[in-house]
Structure 1
Amino acid sequence: MFASLGRLIESVQPLYLVNILLGFTITICVLIVAAGKHRDLMIWASGFALYVLAFVLFGLRSELPLMVSVIGGNGALGFMFAMFVEGLARLYRVPISRWLIWLPPLLSVVGFVILLDDFDSRVILGVVTSTYHSILVLFLVFKGLFSTTGRGRWVIFFAIVFHASVLLIRALLIISAVIDGSGFLSPSTEQTVYLSMSLSTVVMFAFGLLVVYKERAESDAWREAHFDPLTNVSNRRVLKHRLQGLSLSHERSSGYCAIILLDLDNFKSLNDTYGHTVGDRLLVLAAQRIKHNLDVSDEVIRLGGDEFLILLEHLGDDMDDAEIKALNVAKRMLEILCQPYQLDVDGDDGKPTLHLEYKVTASMGIELFQCKDANREAVMSAVDQSMYKAKQSGRNAISCRGRICS
C-alpha cells in the first residue's frame, strides 16, 4: 500500500505537488475558520478543495484514464472558478444571474467530453472558459473595490488582477500561436510561470479573504456594542462617548449643547393590546422618523423601552438662542411622531393580517448645558426631571428650563 502511494507521489511533478499541498492546507484552514461561524466561507473552502482536486487529477494523468484526468481536472477547475464567482458575488453583495455562474462550467464539461480526443480543441475550450471567468471575477472585484471598505479587499483585488492578467496573457499567446498550451503538462517555462502564479495568487487570495472576514467580524462587534439591535440607532455607550468628546473638544468654548429626552405616550397600551411584536414595529418606525429629520451632526439614541434621546450640538454661545433652536427641533419631532403609524398585526389561527392605524404622542424634556461642562450624570438627571414634568402636565408636551413650552 505504502509502495503504491509512494509511486503515485513520485509520478506527480514537483510544482503540481506543491500546489496540491498548499491548496489542501488552505482548505483545512478555511474549514476550521468557517465551522459554525461563517457559512459563506464554506463556499470558499469548496472552491479551494476543487483547486486541490484539479491539480491531483492533472498531476496523476499518467496514472489515470484520459477521461478522468481531462474531464475531471478541467471540470474541477471550471466549478472552482464558479465557486469563487459565487463567493465574490456574496462577499460584495453584487446581484448576478446564477446562470452566468453555473452554466459555463457545465457547458465546458460537455465540451471536454466531446473533444476528448482533440487536444488542440480542448486547449481552445480551456482558453475560452478561463477567459470568461477571468472577466467575470475582474468585474466583481472592481465592483467590490468601490462598494466595500477595509484593507482585505485590496489584497483580494491585486490577487485577482494578477491571476486574471496571467490567464488572459496566456490565452492571447495560445490564440496567437506563440505557444500551443502543451507546456502546462510537462516541466517547461510555461508550466513554471503558470503553476508559480497559481501558488502565489492562491496564497494572496486566501489571506485577503480571511482579512476581509476578520474586518467584518470586528465591524459587526463594534456595531453590536454601539447600536441598538432593534431600531438601528445609537445606544447608551455612544451617548457616553459623545458627551466625553464634547467636554474635551469644547474646553475653551462657552457654546451650548442640548439634550432632548422623549418618551412615547400610550405605547404600553399598544403592547398590551396587540403584543410586543407590533410594539417593536412602531419603535422602529419612530426611530426612523427621528433619525431622518435630524442634522448629520446630531445624534439619536435609544435608552431602552420607548425612551429616545436626541443630542444637539453647536447651538451657539447665547443661551436663549440655543433654547429656541432646541425647542424648534423638539416641536418638529413632536409633530412628526404624532402622525399616524401604519402597522400590520398578524392574525391568529389563520385569520387575515389586520392593518392598524395607530397614533401616539410624546412627552419631551429639554436640558441645555455648556458643551465644555458635559457631565453625563448631571445632564441626564436634569433632563429626566424635565421630561417627567411634561408627562405630569398631561403628556403630549415639551418641558424646558422648568416650564411647559407646548
Structure 2
Amino acid sequence: MSAEKLTTVEELQAKLLDAYRKEFSNDEPTICAFAPGRVNLIGEHSDYNDCFVFPMAIPIGTMIIGKGLDETEGEKCYFRTLSEDIKEAKSFEIDQKEKITPLESPKWGNYVVGVLALFLERIKPNKKRPFRALIATSVPIGGGLSSSASIEVAMGIFLELLYKDQYANDLQLSKVEMALLCCKAEQDFANVPCGVMDQYTSCMGKAGHAILVDCHDNTSKLIKFDDKDTCILVTNSNVKHELSSGTFAENVQHCQDAAKLLGHKTLRDVSTMEELEEGRNKMPAATYRRAHHVISERIRTEAGAKFLENGDYDEFGRIMYESHESLRKYFEVSCEELDQLVELARGVDGVYGSRMTGAGNGGCTVTLVKKDSLKKCIETIKKGYKGKPSFYEFEPCDGARPIDLKKSNNN
C-alpha cells in the first residue's frame, strides 16, 4: 500500500495540449505557466495576523496554457477549466472593454478574473490583449493545499508572458509583488479575507527547502529540508471545506477584535501569552480562544523552523501535535475526521508528528514520518479511518515558472 501517484508537470501539460488542439483545431498554444500548491508544516491561521508561517511548495499545481489573439477579435478573454471537481460552468468569457468586476457565476472564475483585473491596473498596458486560456490543476479542490492560490499565481505568470513586451522596467513585478497581487485578487474578487502565505509559497518555493515567512514584512528564510530518510505524508480526509462560507471571515474578525482590545494593530504585536491573559477579561470567550491559538502558534512556528533546520524531528513532531490540539481546542477549526487521522498517525512507530493543515473543517493532515514507516502509517490510517482517505507523499519543490512550449515540443 502506497501513496497516490502524483500527476507530473509533463502529464498536466500533455493533457492541456490535447484539450487545446481538440477545442481549437489547427491551432497551437504559445503560452504555458505552472504554479504549485503548498502544504503548511506549521503556522496555521497566522498569516493574516502578521505572524510566521512555515510552508513548502509541493509538486502538484495548476497549469494554464493558451494564446494571445488577434486584435480583430476585440478585447474578449476566454477561460475554460478541465477540472472535474468543479460543478459550475466550465467556461466563460469576459470583455476587457468593460470594468472587470467579481463574477456571480462561475465562482471559480474570480480566481483568474481578479488577477487579470489587478494585473492590468498595475501595468496599464498601451493596448489590452484578448486571449484564450485553458486551465487544469492536480491540486485537490477544497483539500487545504492551496488550489486557489496556485490558479491565481499561474494566471499571474501567464499574464506576464502575454504582456512581456509592454513592461516598463519600473512596472516589472517581483515574486513577492506577484504574491501580494494574487492575494489581493482572492480578497477582493473571491471575498476571502486570506493572508499571503499560499500565494507567497507558490511564488517563492524552492526544491529541497521549506520557507519560514514573516508575514509582517513579507520576508522569508529558506530552511533546508531534504532528508532522504524522512518524508512528508499528506492525508486528505476528503471532507471538503469552503473558505467563503463565513466561518473563516468570522475567525479573522475575532483575531482583529482581540488585537484591538489588547491595544495593538495585529496579534503579531502581542509580545507574550502573559499579555493575553492580562487582557482576557476584556474580550468574549471565543475571541480569547482565537487569540490564544494565534499567539502560541507564533511561538511554535519560530521554534519549529529551528528544530527542522537542526534535524530535531522529535521536537518538531511534538509541536505539530501541540498545533493540532490548539487548532482543535482554541481555534475550533478541526473536525472529527481530522482528529481521527491525527490520532491514527500518532499510534504508528516512526511518526514524529501530525496535524491538520489548511483552513480546517475538513481538508488534509500533514505528517512527518520516517520513510521506512510510511507504508505502515498509510495502512494503519486506511484501516482505521471511517472515511476514504487519499495519501500523498511530498518533497519540497520549486515555485511558479513559465514552461517553454517550443522546447517541450522538441523533446
State the TM bucket, normalised to the shorter chain.
under 0.3
Name the structure with the higher helix share.
Answer: 1
Q: Between the two structures, name the one with larger relative contact order (CA 8 Å, sep ≥ 6).
A: 2
TM-score, normalised to structure 2's length? 0.23
TM-score, normalised to structure 1's length? 0.23
Name the structure with the higher strand share.
Answer: 2
